Amino acid sequence: MAELLAVPLKKSSDVDIVKPFKNLIQTTYNNSTGNDEIMEAIGELSRMRVNAIWKVFEKNSLDGLYSYYDQLASLESKIPPQEVQIPFKWKDAFDKGSIFGGRMSLSE
């Protein structure tokens, strides 16, 4: 009989994406035309991220995840990822501590 290996899901944490995008836009585009619209769009992207991450197991979560992914893919074609410095924390699942129980925490 086949046995299944259970691997725990990676846990996400809160990441502020509003401030890095706001800083990038303010340093790149100095004009104040449309700043309210841009800030509203960045806020909406942040809300989409929160919904995509924290509502994973809800019934309609796949639509939110697809919408967030579409926005990221569209944004990546307009702004190179290396220009936006968004720090996030992650734990290495395969460190020497134990199998699938990574204790080493890194920030990128």
pLDDT digits (tens, 9 = 90+) for 79-94: 887 888 888 776 666 6
Q: How distant, in Å, are the alpha carbons of 60, 66, 67, 81 from that of 107?
A: 31, 26, 26, 16
Stated pTM of the model: 0.68
Regions of the chain where pLDDT drops below 70: 1, 7-11, 30-34, 56, 90-108
> What pLDDT is recorded for position 2?
72
Task: Parse the chain into domains and list their residue ranges.
Answer: 34-107
Scanning the chain, the segments in alpha helix (DSSP H) are 18-28, 35-54, 61-78
> What pLDDT is recorded for position 84?
83
CB atoms within 10 A of CB 48: 19
